[in-house]
Amino acid sequence: MMTLEDELSNKKWPKPPFEVRPPSTEPPDRERMLSEAVSQYEGSVYVREGRVVLRHLGWKGVVKPIPPGESAITSLARDPRGRILGATSGSRTHAFVYDPEVDRVVDMGVVDEDSTAKNSVVVTDKNVVYIGTRRDSGPGKLLSFKTDYRETLSWESSRPKFKAMDLPRPNEGIACLSYDRSRRCIYGITSQSGTFFVMDAEGHSCKLIGQVDELGNFSDCLIIGCNGRVYGGKRWGKMYEFNPETGGLIQLHLEIPSLAGRQLYNKVDSMAVDESTGRIYGGGTADGVLFCLDPTSLRITSLGKPTAQARVRTISVGKDHMVYGISGRRGGVAHLFRYDPSISELQDLGVPLAYSDQYWHGYEFDSMATGKDGEIYMGESDRISHLFIYYPPIR
């Protein structure tokens, strides 16, 4: 019987790409070309246009950041002064604020436990912040606080007073929130029955409109179009619209794009509006196909897939009118992508890798917001998470 050692001595090994030579001799062309290819390959997977940095969820080197397991950032919103407010999900939900002026994150406290706050932070033009949470079962929370902009001053108390508000449905939580500046109201969906509601941001009266999906299969994101109507996603890639003029929910005869035969698995994953054109951009869960919805013509256009992965987990329109988003399933490796509407170019920018404040690959992201100077905030949603900031290149 042939032993493993006999087998090894007779084995035909794969040929090395080039022969080993004494280090002092000039490498032949083939070796030089392969070495060059290797150095190009090494960094080619990372975002190389613009700059990626991250900030710890706490003043680095001074306080402990929001702990592992409770730091996944799942909501981001910009306040009128340009600060970024956010909420985390996990064993505890924290509210936090990042102030670009002092360039640090401040943990404002725990608002719920064993909870998710997905797309559920909004800031009104009166500087009132609303945070909604949900749990796997039972009620979540709806809280508000008035920001006095002192949260990031190191010599002031950074703990705002959270005010608990009545939930739209007492035994449910909040799936998502969206603030309508022109009507000064908050739209939202409850977490279990998927009931669309409208809440007066000043008087806090709340009106239940109805279930957005008969089978309870709905997206946890809403977008307010420039026409004042609210758009959302439901089962099998379908969409609906809320018209605040009539107060009615309308099922749209639209389907967001997926690969053939996969509509049953598809749902709107994320949406953002370009206020300069009124176009709404979004992505689907099943295959990560990016689309554009024209609310005037009610026409959806497929813009393609930025990567080979499923999902478009979060999306934001930059001040440069580019659409930035994160492609990638949970448990995978996230890619930042960009869509340039002026030349209809969809481009995978690569994996977000930060060197400052810490060398760190960003693998999971579930929220985004555009800053006042056009910087893109990306909420990492891993067991240990950071606030990533992407500075697009100056054009």
Partner 1 sequence: MTGGLGVYLVSYDPVADQVRYVLDVAKALGESPDNGHATHSKIHYCLVPSDDGGLYGATHCTGAPVGDFVWRPWNSWDDPIRMFTGFHIFRYDLATGGVEDFGSMAPNEGSRAMALCENHRKLVGITYPRDHFYTFDLKGNEYRDLGRIGEINSQSVFLDRDENAYTVDDYGCLVKYDQASDRLMHLDARLPYAEYREGSYNLLYDSVPSPDGESIYGVHWNVDIRLLDNRLFRYDPFDGPEGNIHDLGWAYRPEEAGPASADFQNHHTGGLVFGPDGYLYFATYVHWKEPKGMYLIRMNTETLERKELGPIMKSDRVMAEYVAKATIDFQGGLYFATCASRPTGIFAYRPGARHGRELSFAEVRRWG
- Window contacting partner 1 (CB under 8 A); options: 3-11, 114-122, 172-180, 273-281: 3-11
14 makes contact with partner 1 (CB under 8 A) = yes
- Window contacting partner 1 (CB under 8 A); options: 81-89, 97-105, 147-155, 359-367: 359-367
Distances (CA, A) of 296 to 228, 291, 316, 335, 350: 12, 15, 21, 31, 33
Question: Can you read off the two tokens belonging to residue 92?
Answer: 């505890």
> Cα–Cα distance between 217 and 215 in angstroms, integer?
5
Question: Can you read off the two tokens belonging to residue 147?
Answer: 């920001």
Classify 45 as helix, strand or coil.
Answer: coil
- Window contacting partner 1 (CB under 8 A); options: 74-82, 219-227, 338-346, 357-365: 357-365
**Residue from the set 10, 25, 44, 297 that interacts with partner 1 by CB under 8 A:** 44
Cβ at position 367, least distance to partner 1 in Å: 18
331-358 burial by CB neighbour count: b if 16+ within 10 A, else e?
Answer: eebbbbbbbebeeeeeebbbbbbbeeee
Nearest-5° angle of CA 278, CA 280, CA 281? 140
Task: Pick between residue 68 and residue 248 the one whose CB is nearest to partner 1.
Answer: 68
Task: Pick between residue 213 and residue 366 the one whose CB is nearest to partner 1.
Answer: 366
Task: Pick between residue 255 and residue 357 the one whose CB is nearest to partner 1.
Answer: 357
Question: Can you read off the two tokens belonging to residue 379?
Answer: 């909420």
356 makes contact with partner 1 (CB under 8 A) = no
Classify 34 as helix, strand or coil.
Answer: helix
Task: Pick between residue 44 and residue 157 the one whose CB is nearest to partner 1.
Answer: 44
350 Cα distance to chain centroid: 16
359 makes contact with partner 1 (CB under 8 A) = yes
Cβ at position 99, least distance to partner 1 in Å: 23
22 makes contact with partner 1 (CB under 8 A) = no
> In this structure, which amino acid lies at residue 9?
S
Cβ at position 226, least distance to partner 1 in Å: 35
Site for partner 1 in 296-325 (CB under 8 A): 307-309
Cβ at position 10, least distance to partner 1 in Å: 13
> Cα–Cα distance between 124 and 252 in angstroms, integer?
29
Site for partner 1 in 55-114 (CB under 8 A): 61, 67-69
Distances (CA, A) of 301 to 138, 236, 320, 373: 39, 17, 21, 29
Task: Pick between residue 17 and residue 247 the one whose CB is nearest to partner 1.
Answer: 17
Residues of this chain that bind partner 1 (CB under 8 A): 4-5, 7-8, 13-18, 34, 37-38, 41-42, 44-46, 61, 67-69, 307-309, 332-333, 351, 358-361, 363, 382-384
